[in-house]
Amino acid sequence: MVLDMDRPTVIVTEPIHPAGIRLLEEAGAEVVQLPPGSDERALMEVAPRADALITRGGIRVTRAIMAASPRLRVVGVHGVGCDHVDLGAARDLGKVVLNTPSALTATVAEMTLALMLALTRRVVSADKAVRAGEWTRKYGDLIGSELMGKTVGVIGLGRIGAAVARRLKPFDVTLLYYDVTERTALEDELGVKRVDLDTLLRESDIITLHTPLTPGTRGLLSRREFNLMKDGVYLVNTARGKVIDQRALVEALKAGKVAGAALDVFEEEPLDPEDPLASMDNVILTPHLGASSREAMRRMAVQVAEEVMEVLRGGVLESPVVM
């Protein structure tokens, strides 16, 4: 349906799937796509034209940018994390903020499981060993651990955390979870047990993080928390980098407290190649790829485009981040 209003301008700050762009244009919007690698200054230059912004998180949407956009009605987040958007400013200025959590759940859950298996079975190191002619390492440091019989602690049992737990259940693991919200229905469905954070840290063989970045979760795992963990624990993070104190993690890895970590997110992105994590053989690093499947990229682009246009038409969303 084409909009019955002056043609709105939608600024897309980073590349999204063409299906989303096509949907916006067919609905009557003028789409302005910033070049890859653009920054806040580039966004500020076009902000006064914007009726809507679509962002993937690479450019911060600040109070100044929103204030410079008198026509701006909605900020659509292509993804789930909204920590790059000043939500307080959006409330103050009357801007709607929406995201697309359901579009990426399966993809992030699958990535988490892939990282967990690669970490515990030393897949990345094994690949490097074969390429280097080090076949006999299979008798030594390439011997991994199986998931069966292990206790897996899930920090955050929302959409993605629950999807991870659901995929882990067939591996015959014991599942613990920590969440500020009690998830009774999921406890019954998946056989997961709710515990406090300290108990989860003490009892888990593998810990996987699925919590948003909030003032309460920033630095959730720091030196104290690492000291509580079992010796030889494995850690997977596909949530937000700042949930972990990265310096404390490096210390725990060097000391052997953490046997290995698989990290898709970091305190600062992109990760500095000189960061200590980059030289550690017991760490798997990926460049924030959790939601990067072909299927999820298309779903996110289409969903964010549909919901942005719904707001511009005057419609009401079921569960916006900020209304």
Over residues 288-300, the pLDDT tens digits come to 999 999 999 999 9
Q: Is 277 within the bounds of a domain?
A: yes
DSSP code at position 235 = E
Quote the domain boundaries for residue 82.
9-102+294-312
**CATH number of the domain that 305 lies in?**
3.40.50.720
Q: Are residues 71 and 156 in the same domain?
A: no
Handedness of CA 228, 232, 234, 235 (dihedral sign): positive
Amino acid 4: pLDDT: 41
Q: Are residues 175 and 197 in the same domain?
A: yes
Q: Is 108 within the bounds of a domain?
A: no
Q: Is 302 within the bounds of a domain?
A: yes
Q: Is 79 within the bounds of a domain?
A: yes
Element containing residue 11 per DSSP (H, E): strand 9-12
Count of CB atoms situated within 10 Å of the CB of 84: 17
Is-above-0.85 flag for pTM? Answer: yes
Which residues are part of the catalytic machinery?
240, 269, 288
Asked if residues 28 and 49 have their Cβ atoms less than 8 Å apart, the reply is: no
Amino acid 189: pLDDT: 95
Asked if residues 52 and 11 have their Cβ atoms less than 8 Å apart, the reply is: yes
3-class secondary structure, 265:
coil
Q: Is 271 within the bounds of a domain?
A: yes
Share of the chain above pLDDT 90, in %: 96
Q: Is 223 within the bounds of a domain?
A: yes
Encode pLDDT of 19-61 as tens digits: 999 999 999 999 999 999 999 999 999 999 999 999 999 999 9
Band the pLDDT of 1: cuts 50, 70, 90: very low
Mean pLDDT of 215-219: 96
Q: Is 87 within the bounds of a domain?
A: yes
Nearest alpha-carbon partner for 305 in 14, 4, 17:
17
Residue with tokens 């948003």: 212
Q: Is 318 within the bounds of a domain?
A: no
Q: Are residues 156 and 258 in the same domain?
A: yes
Mean pLDDT of 161-166: 98
Dihedral, CA atoms, 287, 221, 216, 284, nearest 10 degrees?
Answer: 10
3-class secondary structure, 130:
helix
What domain count does the chain have? 2
Lowest mean pLDDT among 78-82, 232-236, 297-301: 78-82
Q: Are residues 277 and 161 in the same domain?
A: yes
User: What does 163-184 look like in DSSP terms, one character per residue?
Assistant: HHHHHHGGG--EEEEE-SS--H
Distant-in-sequence, close-in-space partners of 164: CB < 8 Å, separation ≥ 6: 109, 112, 113, 154, 208, 210
C-alpha 141/C-alpha 322 separation (Å) is 50
Q: Are residues 299 and 261 in the same domain?
A: no
Mean pLDDT of 209-225: 97
